[in-house]
Protein backbone atom coordinates (compact mmCIF):
# COMPACT_ATOMS: atom_id res chain seq x y z
CA UNK A 1 0.00 0.00 0.00
CA UNK A 2 2.83 2.33 0.84
CA UNK A 3 4.45 1.54 -2.49
CA UNK A 4 1.17 2.30 -4.30
CA UNK A 5 0.85 5.58 -2.49
CA UNK A 6 4.41 6.56 -3.30
CA UNK A 7 3.91 5.59 -6.97
CA UNK A 8 0.80 7.76 -7.28
CA UNK A 9 2.66 10.67 -5.66
CA UNK A 10 5.51 10.34 -8.16
CA UNK A 11 3.06 10.28 -11.07
CA UNK A 12 1.28 13.38 -9.72
CA UNK A 13 4.54 15.32 -9.30
CA UNK A 14 5.73 14.29 -12.76
CA UNK A 15 2.46 15.51 -14.26
CA UNK A 16 2.84 18.89 -12.60
CA UNK A 17 6.40 19.23 -13.92
CA UNK A 18 5.40 18.40 -17.48
CA UNK A 19 2.52 20.89 -17.35
CA UNK A 20 4.87 23.63 -16.19
CA UNK A 21 7.30 22.90 -19.02
CA UNK A 22 4.69 22.94 -21.81
CA UNK A 23 4.47 26.17 -24.06
CA UNK A 24 1.81 28.71 -23.14
CA UNK A 25 -1.39 28.43 -25.19
CA UNK A 26 -2.11 31.24 -27.69
CA UNK A 27 -5.25 33.09 -26.61
CA UNK A 28 -8.08 33.01 -29.17
CA UNK A 29 -8.52 36.30 -31.05
CA UNK A 30 -11.58 38.29 -30.23
CA UNK A 31 -14.14 38.25 -33.08
CA UNK A 32 -13.94 41.31 -35.36
CA UNK A 33 -17.03 43.49 -35.15
CA UNK A 34 -17.91 45.74 -38.09
CA UNK A 35 -18.17 49.44 -37.26
CA UNK A 36 -21.63 50.49 -36.29
CA UNK A 37 -22.04 52.48 -39.47
CA UNK A 38 -21.38 49.42 -41.61
CA UNK A 39 -23.98 47.19 -39.95
CA UNK A 40 -27.00 46.76 -42.17
CA UNK A 41 -30.07 48.26 -40.62
CA UNK A 42 -32.67 45.70 -39.67
CA UNK A 43 -36.23 46.88 -39.71
CA UNK A 44 -39.20 45.10 -38.28
CA UNK A 45 -41.58 47.28 -40.24
CA UNK A 46 -43.45 45.93 -43.21
CA UNK A 47 -41.61 46.47 -46.53
CA UNK A 48 -42.52 49.72 -48.28
CA UNK A 49 -43.97 49.33 -51.76
CA UNK A 50 -43.23 52.19 -54.15
CA UNK A 51 -46.34 53.85 -55.52
CA UNK A 52 -47.16 52.92 -59.09
CA UNK A 53 -46.47 56.49 -60.25
CA UNK A 54 -42.84 56.36 -59.11
CA UNK A 55 -41.96 53.19 -60.99
CA UNK A 56 -39.68 53.92 -63.95
CA UNK A 57 -41.43 53.88 -67.28
CA UNK A 58 -39.75 51.50 -69.67
CA UNK A 59 -40.15 52.64 -73.26
CA UNK A 60 -40.44 50.03 -75.96
CA UNK A 61 -39.78 52.63 -78.67
CA UNK A 62 -36.53 52.15 -80.53
CA UNK A 63 -34.10 54.99 -79.68
CA UNK A 64 -33.43 57.55 -82.38
CA UNK A 65 -29.67 57.38 -82.91
CA UNK A 66 -27.66 60.57 -83.45
CA UNK A 67 -23.92 60.85 -84.08
CA UNK A 68 -22.33 64.26 -83.48
CA UNK A 69 -18.90 64.75 -85.04
CA UNK A 70 -17.05 67.75 -83.64
CA UNK A 71 -13.99 69.45 -85.15
CA UNK A 72 -12.67 70.25 -81.67
CA UNK A 73 -13.04 69.31 -78.03
CA UNK A 74 -16.45 69.08 -76.41
CA UNK A 75 -15.18 71.13 -73.45
CA UNK A 76 -13.62 74.00 -75.42
CA UNK A 77 -15.97 76.63 -73.88
CA UNK A 78 -16.74 77.66 -77.45
CA UNK A 79 -18.18 76.35 -80.73
CA UNK A 80 -17.90 72.65 -79.91
CA UNK A 81 -19.13 72.85 -76.33
CA UNK A 82 -22.21 74.77 -77.42
CA UNK A 83 -23.09 71.95 -79.81
CA UNK A 84 -22.32 69.23 -77.27
CA UNK A 85 -24.50 70.86 -74.63
CA UNK A 86 -27.22 71.52 -77.18
CA UNK A 87 -27.42 67.88 -78.24
CA UNK A 88 -27.55 66.69 -74.64
CA UNK A 89 -30.37 69.16 -74.03
CA UNK A 90 -32.14 67.83 -77.13
CA UNK A 91 -31.78 64.25 -75.90
CA UNK A 92 -33.61 65.13 -72.68
CA UNK A 93 -36.28 67.28 -74.34
CA UNK A 94 -37.05 65.51 -77.62
CA UNK A 95 -40.08 63.68 -76.26
CA UNK A 96 -38.87 60.30 -77.52
CA UNK A 97 -35.87 58.07 -76.73
CA UNK A 98 -32.62 59.38 -78.20
CA UNK A 99 -29.23 57.70 -78.21
CA UNK A 100 -26.24 59.92 -78.93
CA UNK A 101 -22.63 59.33 -79.88
CA UNK A 102 -20.14 62.21 -79.73
CA UNK A 103 -16.81 62.15 -81.56
CA UNK A 104 -14.26 64.89 -80.90
CA UNK A 105 -11.41 66.53 -82.79
CA UNK A 106 -12.22 65.45 -86.34
CA UNK A 107 -10.86 68.62 -87.90
CA UNK A 108 -8.99 67.67 -91.08
CA UNK A 109 -11.09 67.12 -94.19
CA UNK A 110 -9.21 63.87 -94.87
CA UNK A 111 -10.58 62.45 -91.59
CA UNK A 112 -14.12 63.74 -91.95
CA UNK A 113 -15.33 61.58 -94.83
CA UNK A 114 -14.35 58.24 -93.19
CA UNK A 115 -16.01 59.33 -89.92
CA UNK A 116 -19.26 60.23 -91.67
CA UNK A 117 -19.27 56.96 -93.60
CA UNK A 118 -18.54 54.96 -90.45
CA UNK A 119 -21.60 56.18 -88.57
CA UNK A 120 -23.84 55.90 -91.61
CA UNK A 121 -22.75 52.26 -91.95
CA UNK A 122 -23.49 51.69 -88.26
CA UNK A 123 -27.09 52.67 -88.90
CA UNK A 124 -27.29 56.02 -87.14
CA UNK A 125 -30.45 57.90 -88.09
CA UNK A 126 -28.91 61.39 -88.07
CA UNK A 127 -25.22 62.21 -88.51
CA UNK A 128 -24.21 65.77 -87.61
CA UNK A 129 -21.03 67.42 -88.87
CA UNK A 130 -20.56 70.53 -86.74
CA UNK A 131 -18.59 72.85 -89.00
CA UNK A 132 -18.43 74.29 -92.50
CA UNK A 133 -15.48 72.00 -93.37
CA UNK A 134 -17.93 69.08 -93.27
CA UNK A 135 -19.85 70.44 -96.29
CA UNK A 136 -18.22 68.65 -99.22
CA UNK A 137 -17.73 65.34 -97.37
CA UNK A 138 -21.36 65.36 -96.19
CA UNK A 139 -22.72 66.00 -99.70
CA UNK A 140 -20.60 63.11 -101.03
CA UNK A 141 -21.40 60.58 -98.29
CA UNK A 142 -25.10 61.54 -98.16
CA UNK A 143 -25.45 60.46 -101.79
CA UNK A 144 -24.08 57.04 -100.83
CA UNK A 145 -26.49 56.62 -97.90
CA UNK A 146 -29.87 58.05 -98.99
CA UNK A 147 -31.68 56.53 -95.99
CA UNK A 148 -29.42 58.32 -93.50
CA UNK A 149 -30.03 61.97 -92.68
CA UNK A 150 -27.10 64.37 -92.36
CA UNK A 151 -26.98 67.81 -90.72
CA UNK A 152 -24.31 70.36 -91.60
CA UNK A 153 -23.32 73.02 -89.08
CA UNK A 154 -23.11 76.18 -91.23
CA UNK A 155 -22.78 76.04 -95.00
CA UNK A 156 -25.09 76.34 -97.97
CA UNK A 157 -25.23 73.04 -99.90
CA UNK A 158 -28.38 70.97 -99.46
CA UNK A 159 -29.65 67.57 -100.58
CA UNK A 160 -32.81 65.46 -100.05
CA UNK A 161 -31.23 63.99 -96.90
CA UNK A 162 -29.07 66.98 -95.94
CA UNK A 163 -30.12 69.97 -93.85
CA UNK A 164 -27.98 72.96 -92.85
CA UNK A 165 -28.26 74.61 -89.44
CA UNK A 166 -26.73 78.02 -88.89
CA UNK A 167 -26.63 81.02 -86.57
CA UNK A 168 -27.54 84.59 -87.42
CA UNK A 169 -24.36 85.80 -85.80
CA UNK A 170 -24.90 89.23 -87.29
CA UNK A 171 -27.62 89.72 -84.64
CA UNK A 172 -25.31 88.83 -81.79
CA UNK A 173 -22.54 90.88 -83.36
CA UNK A 174 -24.82 93.90 -83.71
CA UNK A 175 -25.70 94.10 -80.02
CA UNK A 176 -22.07 93.44 -79.04
CA UNK A 177 -21.12 96.36 -81.28
CA UNK A 178 -23.58 98.59 -79.44
CA UNK A 179 -22.20 97.46 -76.09
CA UNK A 180 -18.60 98.01 -77.18
CA UNK A 181 -19.35 101.47 -78.61
CA UNK A 182 -21.11 102.52 -75.42
CA UNK A 183 -18.23 101.33 -73.23
CA UNK A 184 -15.18 102.52 -75.19
CA UNK A 185 -13.15 105.53 -74.09
CA UNK A 186 -10.87 105.61 -77.14
CA UNK A 187 -13.55 105.16 -79.82
CA UNK A 188 -11.44 102.29 -81.19
CA UNK A 189 -12.73 98.71 -81.07
CA UNK A 190 -11.27 95.37 -82.09
CA UNK A 191 -12.83 92.14 -83.40
CA UNK A 192 -10.94 88.91 -84.18
CA UNK A 193 -12.20 85.89 -86.13
CA UNK A 194 -10.87 82.53 -87.22
CA UNK A 195 -11.64 82.14 -90.92
CA UNK A 196 -13.46 84.66 -93.09
CA UNK A 197 -16.45 82.42 -93.80
CA UNK A 198 -20.10 83.43 -94.04
CA UNK A 199 -21.13 83.01 -90.41
CA UNK A 200 -18.04 84.77 -89.04
CA UNK A 201 -18.07 87.47 -91.72
CA UNK A 202 -21.70 88.29 -90.99
CA UNK A 203 -20.93 88.52 -87.29
CA UNK A 204 -18.09 90.95 -87.84
CA UNK A 205 -20.15 93.15 -90.18
CA UNK A 206 -22.95 93.12 -87.62
CA UNK A 207 -20.51 94.20 -84.91
CA UNK A 208 -19.31 97.11 -87.04
CA UNK A 209 -22.86 98.20 -87.90
CA UNK A 210 -23.95 98.03 -84.26
CA UNK A 211 -21.01 100.16 -83.17
CA UNK A 212 -21.65 102.69 -85.94
CA UNK A 213 -25.29 102.96 -84.90
CA UNK A 214 -23.95 104.51 -81.68
CA UNK A 215 -21.10 106.49 -83.21
CA UNK A 216 -20.79 106.71 -87.02
CA UNK A 217 -17.15 107.80 -86.72
CA UNK A 218 -16.03 104.95 -84.49
CA UNK A 219 -13.08 102.84 -85.69
CA UNK A 220 -13.31 99.03 -85.76
CA UNK A 221 -10.10 97.04 -86.28
CA UNK A 222 -10.97 93.73 -87.91
CA UNK A 223 -8.66 90.67 -87.94
CA UNK A 224 -8.98 87.14 -89.34
CA UNK A 225 -6.40 84.60 -88.19
CA UNK A 226 -6.94 82.05 -90.98
CA UNK A 227 -7.46 79.18 -88.53
CA UNK A 228 -9.82 78.42 -85.68
CA UNK A 229 -7.18 76.87 -83.44
CA UNK A 230 -4.24 79.28 -83.82
CA UNK A 231 -4.20 80.61 -80.28
CA UNK A 232 -0.82 82.33 -80.58
CA UNK A 233 -1.93 84.12 -83.75
CA UNK A 234 -5.19 85.20 -82.13
CA UNK A 235 -3.45 86.55 -79.06
CA UNK A 236 -0.98 88.45 -81.21
CA UNK A 237 -3.83 89.98 -83.24
CA UNK A 238 -5.65 91.03 -80.06
CA UNK A 239 -2.51 92.56 -78.55
CA UNK A 240 -1.90 94.46 -81.79
CA UNK A 241 -5.43 95.85 -81.64
CA UNK A 242 -4.88 96.99 -78.07
CA UNK A 243 -1.57 98.58 -79.08
CA UNK A 244 -3.47 100.46 -81.81
CA UNK A 245 -5.81 101.94 -79.20
CA UNK A 246 -8.68 99.44 -79.03
CA UNK A 247 -10.04 99.22 -75.49
CA UNK A 248 -13.03 96.90 -76.06
CA UNK A 249 -12.63 93.64 -78.01
CA UNK A 250 -14.96 90.92 -79.32
CA UNK A 251 -14.12 87.63 -81.05
CA UNK A 252 -15.75 84.81 -82.97
CA UNK A 253 -14.26 81.43 -83.53
CA UNK A 254 -13.59 78.22 -81.60
CA UNK A 255 -10.32 78.08 -79.65
CA UNK A 256 -9.08 81.51 -80.67
CA UNK A 257 -11.65 83.17 -78.44
CA UNK A 258 -9.84 81.90 -75.36
CA UNK A 259 -6.63 83.56 -76.57
CA UNK A 260 -8.36 86.89 -77.24
CA UNK A 261 -9.95 86.91 -73.79
CA UNK A 262 -6.58 86.05 -72.29
CA UNK A 263 -4.98 89.02 -74.07
CA UNK A 264 -7.72 91.30 -72.74
CA UNK A 265 -7.13 90.09 -69.20
CA UNK A 266 -3.39 90.61 -69.64
CA UNK A 267 -3.84 94.19 -70.86
CA UNK A 268 -6.85 94.87 -68.63
CA UNK A 269 -9.22 95.94 -71.39
CA UNK A 270 -12.89 95.06 -71.74
CA UNK A 271 -14.04 92.18 -73.91
CA UNK A 272 -17.03 89.98 -74.78
CA UNK A 273 -17.36 86.22 -75.24
CA UNK A 274 -18.92 84.22 -78.04
CA UNK A 275 -20.37 80.74 -78.76
CA UNK A 276 -20.59 79.64 -75.10
CA UNK A 277 -20.68 81.54 -71.83
CA UNK A 278 -17.03 82.61 -71.65
CA UNK A 279 -17.39 85.17 -68.89
CA UNK A 280 -15.47 83.03 -66.41
CA UNK A 281 -12.45 82.91 -68.73
CA UNK A 282 -11.84 86.61 -68.06
CA UNK A 283 -14.09 87.38 -65.08
CA UNK A 284 -12.62 90.85 -64.50
CA UNK A 285 -12.84 91.89 -68.15
CA UNK A 286 -15.65 90.07 -69.96
CA UNK A 287 -18.86 92.08 -69.89
CA UNK A 288 -21.11 89.50 -71.55
CA UNK A 289 -21.17 86.53 -73.91
CA UNK A 290 -23.16 85.74 -77.02
CA UNK A 291 -24.33 82.16 -76.42
CA UNK A 292 -25.56 79.74 -79.10
CA UNK A 293 -28.41 77.52 -77.85
CA UNK A 294 -28.51 74.71 -80.45
CA UNK A 295 -30.82 72.41 -78.48
CA UNK A 296 -34.22 73.42 -79.92
CA UNK A 297 -33.01 73.33 -83.51
CA UNK A 298 -31.55 69.85 -82.94
CA UNK A 299 -34.94 68.72 -81.63
CA UNK A 300 -36.64 70.27 -84.66
CA UNK A 301 -34.31 68.45 -87.06
CA UNK A 302 -34.80 65.10 -85.31
CA UNK A 303 -38.58 65.44 -85.31
CA UNK A 304 -38.67 66.38 -88.98
CA UNK A 305 -36.31 63.53 -89.85
CA UNK A 306 -38.59 61.07 -88.03
CA UNK A 307 -41.56 62.54 -89.86
CA UNK A 308 -39.85 62.32 -93.26
CA UNK A 309 -39.81 66.09 -93.82
CA UNK A 310 -36.11 66.71 -93.22
CA UNK A 311 -33.68 67.75 -95.95
CA UNK A 312 -33.25 70.46 -98.56
CA UNK A 313 -33.80 72.96 -95.78
CA UNK A 314 -31.88 75.53 -93.74
CA UNK A 315 -32.45 75.83 -90.00
CA UNK A 316 -31.57 79.01 -88.10
CA UNK A 317 -31.02 80.07 -84.51
CA UNK A 318 -31.46 83.75 -83.69
CA UNK A 319 -33.02 86.07 -81.15
CA UNK A 320 -36.56 85.17 -82.24
CA UNK A 321 -36.29 81.53 -81.10
CA UNK A 322 -33.86 82.18 -78.22
CA UNK A 323 -31.18 80.36 -80.17
CA UNK A 324 -28.99 83.40 -79.54
CA UNK A 325 -28.82 84.62 -75.96
CA UNK A 326 -26.86 87.35 -74.22
CA UNK A 327 -25.45 86.17 -70.88
CA UNK A 328 -24.17 89.00 -68.69
CA UNK A 329 -21.26 88.81 -66.30
CA UNK A 330 -23.02 89.71 -63.05
CA UNK A 331 -19.73 90.90 -61.55
CA UNK A 332 -19.39 93.63 -64.21
CA UNK A 333 -22.96 94.37 -65.21
CA UNK A 334 -23.11 97.26 -62.74
CA UNK A 335 -20.55 99.04 -64.95
CA UNK A 336 -23.06 99.07 -67.83
CA UNK A 337 -25.38 102.06 -67.72
CA UNK A 338 -29.14 101.75 -67.77
CA UNK A 339 -29.13 103.63 -71.08
CA UNK A 340 -26.78 101.07 -72.62
CA UNK A 341 -28.86 98.15 -71.36
CA UNK A 342 -31.98 99.76 -72.78
CA UNK A 343 -30.33 100.29 -76.20
CA UNK A 344 -29.22 96.66 -76.32
CA UNK A 345 -32.65 95.34 -75.35
CA UNK A 346 -34.37 97.54 -77.92
CA UNK A 347 -31.95 96.37 -80.61
CA UNK A 348 -32.66 92.75 -79.67
CA UNK A 349 -36.39 93.35 -80.01
CA UNK A 350 -36.00 95.21 -83.31
CA UNK A 351 -33.81 92.44 -84.74
CA UNK A 352 -36.41 89.88 -83.67
CA UNK A 353 -39.12 91.83 -85.50
CA UNK A 354 -36.90 92.54 -88.54
CA UNK A 355 -37.19 96.27 -87.86
CA UNK A 356 -33.42 96.62 -88.34
CA UNK A 357 -32.27 95.78 -91.87
CA UNK A 358 -28.58 94.90 -91.86
CA UNK A 359 -28.37 94.55 -95.64
CA UNK A 360 -26.32 92.08 -97.70
CA UNK A 361 -23.82 91.09 -95.05
CA UNK A 362 -22.03 88.37 -97.00
CA UNK A 363 -21.01 90.85 -99.66
CA UNK A 364 -20.14 93.71 -97.31
CA UNK A 365 -16.40 94.26 -97.29
CA UNK A 366 -14.50 94.60 -94.07
CA UNK A 367 -11.39 96.74 -93.72
Q: Please enumerate in sequence order all residues whose Cβ is within 8 A of that of 193, keeping only pairs 6 or more positions apart, or say none.
A: 200, 201, 203, 204, 222, 223, 224, 225, 251, 252, 253, 256
Spatial contact of 164 and 194, defined as CB atoms under 8 Å apart: no
CA nearest to 168, candidates 290, 19, 63: 290
Considering the domain delimited by 169-291+337-352, tell me its CATH architecture: 3-Layer(aba) Sandwich (3.40)
Q: Could you give the CA distance from residue 292 to residue 200 in angstroms, rounded to a whole number?
A: 13
Q: Please enumerate in sequence order all residues whose Cβ is within 8 A of that of 8, keeping only pairs 6 or more positions apart, or say none.
A: none
pLDDT of residue 229: 87
β-pairing verdict for 313-317 and 286-292: unpaired
Q: Could you give the CA distance from residue 2 to residue 343 in angstroms, rounded to a whole number?
A: 129
Domain-wise residue ranges, the chain: 64-167+295-307+309-317, 169-291+337-352
Residue-by-residue pLDDT tens, the chain, 367 positions: 433 344 334 334 334 433 333 333 333 333 333 333 333 333 333 333 344 444 544 557 899 999 999 999 999 999 999 999 999 999 999 999 999 999 999 999 999 999 999 999 999 999 999 999 999 999 999 999 999 999 999 999 999 999 999 999 999 999 999 999 999 999 999 999 999 999 999 999 999 999 999 999 999 999 999 998 899 999 999 999 999 999 999 999 777 999 999 999 999 999 999 999 999 999 999 999 999 999 999 999 999 999 999 999 999 999 999 999 999 999 999 999 999 999 999 999 999 999 999 989 998 988 7
Q: Could you give the CA distance from residue 264 to residue 248 in angstroms, rounded to a whole number?
A: 8
pLDDT of residue 247: 98
pLDDT of residue 235: 97
Considering the domain delimited by 64-167+295-307+309-317, tell me its CATH architecture: 3-Layer(aba) Sandwich (3.40)
64-167+295-307+309-317 and 169-291+337-352 share one CATH topology? yes
pLDDT of residue 40: 34
Amino acid sequence: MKRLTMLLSVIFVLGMVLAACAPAATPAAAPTVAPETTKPAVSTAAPTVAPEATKPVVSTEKPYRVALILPGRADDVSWNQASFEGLNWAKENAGFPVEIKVVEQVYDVADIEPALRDYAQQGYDLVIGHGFQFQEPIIKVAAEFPKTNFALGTGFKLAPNVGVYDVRLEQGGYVMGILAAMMTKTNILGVTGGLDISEIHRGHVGFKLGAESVNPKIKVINSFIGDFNDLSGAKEAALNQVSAGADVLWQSGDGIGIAVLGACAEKNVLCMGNNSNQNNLAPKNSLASVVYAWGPVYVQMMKEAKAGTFGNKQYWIDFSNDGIQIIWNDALKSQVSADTLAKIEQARIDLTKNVINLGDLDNTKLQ
